[in-house]
Amino acid sequence: MADASSFCPWWDEFRAEMPIARNWAYFNHAAVAPLPFRTQQAITSFAEQATVDGDTRWQSWSRGVGRARTLATQMLGCDEAEVALVHSTTEGVTLVAEGFPWRAGDNIVTLENEFPSNQYPWMNLESRQVETRRVSTRDGRLDLAALEDACDARTRIVSVSWVGYLSGWRADLAEVLAVAKRKGALLFVDAIQGLGVFPLNVKEIPIDFLAADGHKWLLGPEGAGVFYLRREHLELLRPIGVGWHSVVHAADYGRIELNLRATAARYEGGTQNMVGFIGLASSLELLARYGPAKIGERVVAGIVSFELPGRDALEFKKRCLERGVVVSARSGRVRLAAHAYNSSDDIGRLIEAISG
C-alpha cells in the first residue's frame, strides 16, 4: 500500500507534525511559535532521563546539542566553526556590540523601526563614545539610499533585520551588504524573522554576523538560538562571558589555561541550555525535511500587519482568541504571521473573525 502522504501536498504532512493545528488557527509565528510534536517528545524524553538517570545521559545530551549546531550550519551553508549556540538574538547582538574593537567617534548604523534587541545593545555603546544612527524607513521599508547616506568613514557596522518584525518587509541582503562594503563597514543581520522560512547561504551572500533565536519561524523552544560570524572575524571580537566551555580543554576543569577554542564555540561560555538545544535540533530536523526554499515559496510573506478602522487591535486579538484564532497586536495594528503548515481552513476562520 502506498504511503498516504504521497496523495497530499507536503504541507499537509507538515501540518500533521503540528498539534497546534488541531484546535487553533495559529498566526503568531513572529512572536512565539508552537512546538512540533517531535520537539515535545525530545523535551519530554530529556526531562524523563534527567529525572530517572541524572547526568549519566550527559554524553547523549551533548550529542543532541551538537546536532542543533550541525543543522543550523547546514541551513546557513557555513562551516560549523562559524556557529555558536546562544540563548537569544539579544545575546548574539551583544557579542558583537560589546566585543568589537570600537574607538571613540565610531558609529553603527541601523533602522529606526528595528526590534529593541537590535537597537539597545548598540545604543548602550554611547558611554564608549560610539554613536548609534537610526535611519528612517518609508512604510516600514528599508531605503537603501538613506541607509548609505547615514554611513560615513567612521561607520564600523551596519545592522538590519532580514525581515521587519512589524512590517514584514524582507530586505535584499545582497544589496544591503553592497552598501556596507562600499562604506567599509561590516554587516550584522538580525535573522530571527526569516531564518527557517527563507533560504540564506552565507557563502553566496557573505554577511559578517547573524543572530536568531529559535522560538519563532524555526519552531523551537525559547532560549535556544544561533550566532554566526565569518571565520575571518574570529579574532576580531573580544570574547564576552568567557567560561569553561570557551577553551580547548573544556572538560579538564583542573587545567587553568586561557587557550580559547579556534571556533565560534569560544563565545558559548558556560553551561548550555541543553534541553532547549535538543528541542531546537528536533525542530530543525523537521524544517530540513522540506527546506527553506520550498517553505519560502509557500509562505511568500510571513508577516502582514494591518489596521481595522474603528476597531482596537488588542480587543480584536481577544475576540480572535475566543474563536480559536491566534494573532498579535503590535503598535495599534493586527499582525498576522502564517507558517507553511497553515491551511485555507485557518484563513477561513481568520476571515470570519474579521467579518464578525
Label residue 1 by pLDDT band (50, 70, 90).
Answer: very low
Label residue 327 by pLDDT band (50, 70, 90).
Answer: very high
Label residue 6 by pLDDT band (50, 70, 90).
Answer: very low
- pLDDT of 87 reads 97
Could you tell me which residue, 251 or 83, shows the higher pLDDT? 83
Q: How far apart are CA 283 and CA 41, in angstroms?
A: 11
208 phi, psi to nearest 5 deg:
-95, -40
Q: How far apart are CA 211 and CA 209, in angstroms?
A: 7
DSSP symbols for 104-149:
TT-EEEEETTS-GGGTHHHHGGGGGT-EEEEE--BTTB--HHHHHH
88 phi, psi to nearest 5 deg:
-165, 165
Grid coordinates given for 212: 536568531
The reply to whether CATH 3.40.640.10 applies to domain 54-284 is yes
- Quick one: which H or E segment has residue 304? strand 303-306
Q: How far apart are CA 202 and CA 195, in angstroms?
A: 12
Yes or no: say if 188 and 355 are a contact pair by the CB < 8 Å rule: no
Domain ranges of the chain: 10-30+302-355, 54-284
Percent of the chain with pLDDT over 70: 98
Q: How far apart are CA 135 and CA 170, in angstroms?
A: 16
- pLDDT of 2 reads 36
195 phi, psi to nearest 5 deg:
-65, 125
Do strands 186-190 and 209-213 pair parallel, antiparallel, or not at all (unpaired)? Answer: parallel
Say how many C-beta atoms besides its own lie within 10 A of residue 99's C-beta: 17
Q: Which has the closest alpha carbon to 191: 86, 34, 273?
A: 86
pTM over 0.85: yes
Give tens-digit pLDDT for 82-114.
999 999 999 999 999 999 999 999 999 999 999
| Superfamily designation of domain 10-30+302-355 | Aspartate Aminotransferase, domain 1 (3.90.1150.10)
- Matching residue, cell 488557527: 25
Q: How far is CA 315 from the centre of its chain?
A: 29
- pLDDT of 8 reads 55
Q: How far apart are CA 324 and CA 318, in angstroms?
A: 10
